[in-house]
Structure 1
Amino acid sequence: MAAAGEPLYPIVVLIDELKNEDIQLRLNSIRRLSTIARALGEERTRKELIPFMIENNDDDDEVLLAMAEAVGNLIPYVGGVEHASVLLAPLEGLCSVEESSVREKAVASLCQIGSQMRESDLVEFFVPLVKRLAVGEWFTARVSSCGLFHIAYPSAPENIKNELRTIYGQLCQDDMPMVRRAAATNLGKFAATVEPSHLKTNIMSMFGDLTQDDQDSVRLLAVEGCVSIGKLLGPQDCASQILPDIINFSQDKSWRVRYMVANQLYDLCEAVGQEATRTELVPAFVRLLRDNEAEVRIAAAGKVTKFCAIVNPEISIQHILPCVKELSNDSSQHVRSALASVIMGMAPVLGKDGTIDQLLPIFLSLLKDEFPDVRLNIISKLDQVNQVIGIDLLSQSLLPAIVELAEDKHWRVRLAIIEYIPLLASQLGVQFFDDKLGALCMQWLKDKVYSIREAAANNVKRLAEEFGPEWAMHHIIPQVLEMINDPHYLYRMTILSAISLVAPVLGSEITCSKLLPVIVTAAKDRVPNIKFTVAKVLQSLISVVDHSVVENTIRPCLVELTNDPDVDVRFFANQALRAIDQVMMST
Structure 2
Amino acid sequence: MSEQIKFDVSEGAYDNDCLLLNDDHSFVETTVKCDNTEDYLKALNDVRDVAEKLGIENTRQYLIPYLTHLIVNDKITQLKDIAEILGDFECYVGGSKYVHILLLPLEELAGAKQNDVQIAAIKSLQALADIMEVSDLETYFIPLIASMTMNNKCAKRWSVCRLFTTVYMRVSPKHQGDIIDYHCFLSFDSFSSVRQDAAKCLVDLCEVVNFSTFDSKIIPRLEQFSFDQNEHIRTLALTTAISISNKFDVSYIKQIILPMILHFINDISWKIRLILLKNIAKLLTIDRSCLNLTEIILQILIVLTKDKQLEVRLQSIHILYDCTVVLFQNLTDLKAILLVTEFLIPALHNLSQDSEVTCKLEVPAVLAKFNKLIPDKLIKDYFVNFVKQLLNDTNVDVVFNVIKYMKDILGPQYSNLIVLPEYRLICCLKAFIVNDSWEIRKIGAIYLGILAIQKGIQFFEEYLEQSFLILLTDTKSTVQETTMDVFILLVTEFGMDWAQTYIVPYLINLSYSTNTYNKMAFLSFAKVCATMMCTKFRALNVNIRESEVK
Contact kept in structure 1, 2:446 and 2:486, CA below 8 Å? yes
- What is the aligned partner in structure 1 of residue 157 from structure 2? 142
Contact kept in structure 2, 1:45 and 1:77, CA below 8 Å? no
Residue 207 (str. 1) matches residue 234 (str. 2): no
Rounded Cα–Cα distance in structure 2 between residues aligned with 1:454 and 1:93: 61
Please state how far the C-alpha of 1:393 moved relative to its aligned partner.
0.5
- What is the aligned partner in structure 2 of residue 188 from structure 1? 203
Q: 1:465 to 1:243 in 2, by over 3 A?
A: same
- What is the aligned partner in structure 2 of residue 489 from structure 1? 516
- What is the aligned partner in structure 2 of residue 25 from structure 1? none
TM-score by length of 1: 0.59
Contact kept in structure 2, 1:422 and 1:463, CA below 8 Å? yes
Contact kept in structure 1, 2:7 and 2:75, CA below 8 Å? no
Contact kept in structure 2, 1:172 and 1:179, CA below 8 Å? yes
Rounded Cα–Cα distance in structure 2 between residues aligned with 1:448 and 1:396: 36
Q: 1:117 to 1:78 in 2, by over 3 A?
A: closer
Please state how far the C-alpha of 1:150 moved relative to its aligned partner.
4.3
- What is the aligned partner in structure 2 of residue 352 from structure 1? 376
- What is the aligned partner in structure 1 of residue 131 from structure 2? 120
Contact kept in structure 2, 1:251 and 1:258, CA below 8 Å? yes
Residue 307 (str. 1) matches residue 323 (str. 2): yes
Correspondent of 1:283 among 271, 279, 299: 299
Correspondent of 1:247 among 235, 239, 262: 262
Contact kept in structure 2, 1:441 and 1:459, CA below 8 Å? no
Cα displacement string for residues 440-487 of structure 1 (whole angstroms, at most 9, x for unaligned residues): 665543345544433443454566577776565445432332333455
Q: 1:187 to 1:396 in 2, by over 3 A?
A: same
Residue 163 (str. 1) matches residue 183 (str. 2): no
Cα displacement string for residues 213-258 of structure 1 (whole angstroms, at most 9, x for unaligned residues): 5767644432222211113336564344312322343356776655
Give the gaps of 5 or more residues in structure 2: 12-41, 52-62, 328-335, 538-550
Rounded Cα–Cα distance in structure 1 between residues aligned with 2:456 and 2:152: 74
Q: 1:163 to 1:366 in 2, by over 3 A?
A: farther
Correspondent of 1:43 among 27, 48, 65: 48
- What is the aligned partner in structure 2 of residue 316 from structure 1? 340
Residue 393 (str. 1) matches residue 415 (str. 2): yes
AA in 2 matched with 1:275 = L
Correspondent of 1:231 among 240, 246, 256: 246
Please state how far the C-alpha of 1:57 moved relative to its aligned partner.
6.6
Rounded Cα–Cα distance in structure 1 between residues aligned with 2:386 and 2:49: 72
SS of the residue 2:151 aligns to: coil
Contact kept in structure 1, 2:474 and 2:517, CA below 8 Å? no
Tell which deviates more after alignment, 188-197 or 113-122. Answer: 113-122
Cα displacement string for residues 305-339 of structure 1 (whole angstroms, at most 9, x for unaligned residues): 22344453333333444443333333344554565
Please state how far the C-alpha of 1:280 moved relative to its aligned partner.
1.7
Identity %: 19
Please state how far the C-alpha of 1:386 moved relative to its aligned partner.
1.4
Please state how far the C-alpha of 1:110 moved relative to its aligned partner.
5.5
AA in 1 matched with 2:206 = A
Tell which deviates more after alignment, 278-287 or 189-198. Answer: 189-198
CA RMSD of aligned residues (A): 5.6
Rounded Cα–Cα distance in structure 1 between residues aligned with 2:146 and 2:391: 59
- What is the aligned partner in structure 1 of residue 526 from structure 2? 499
Tell which deviates more after alignment, 218-227 or 464-473. Answer: 464-473
Rounded Cα–Cα distance in structure 1 between residues aligned with 2:176 and 2:501: 80
1:83-122 counterparts in 2 under 5 A? 93=109, 97=113, 103=115, 109=120, 119-121=130-132
- What is the aligned partner in structure 2 of residue 454 from structure 1? 481
Contact kept in structure 2, 1:42 and 1:79, CA below 8 Å? no
Give the gaps of 5 or more residues in structure 1: 3-7, 17-36, 512-587
Cα displacement string for residues 37-91 of structure 1 (whole angstroms, at most 9, x for unaligned residues): 9x955725988998799468799xxx99xx86x7888799989999999799579
AA in 1 matched with 2:378 = G
Contact kept in structure 2, 1:235 and 1:272, CA below 8 Å? yes
AA in 2 matched with 1:315 = L
Query: Aligned pair count?
Result: 471
1:386-425 counterparts in 2 under 5 A? 386=408, 389-390=411-412, 393=415, 396=418
- What is the aligned partner in structure 1 of residue 350 from structure 2? 326
SS of the residue 2:301 aligns to: helix
Rounded Cα–Cα distance in structure 2 between residues aligned with 1:158 and 1:501: 76
Q: 1:76 to 1:189 in 2, by over 3 A?
A: closer
Contact kept in structure 2, 1:460 and 1:502, CA below 8 Å? no
Rounded Cα–Cα distance in structure 2 between residues aligned with 1:154 and 1:416: 64
Q: 1:443 to 1:235 in 2, by over 3 A?
A: farther
1:525-564 counterparts in 2 under 5 A? none
Rounded Cα–Cα distance in structure 2 between residues aligned with 1:90 and 1:493: 71
Rounded Cα–Cα distance in structure 2 between residues aligned with 1:159 and 1:287: 45
1:248-267 counterparts in 2 under 5 A? 248-251=263-266, 258-267=273-282
- What is the aligned partner in structure 2 of residue 551 from structure 1? none
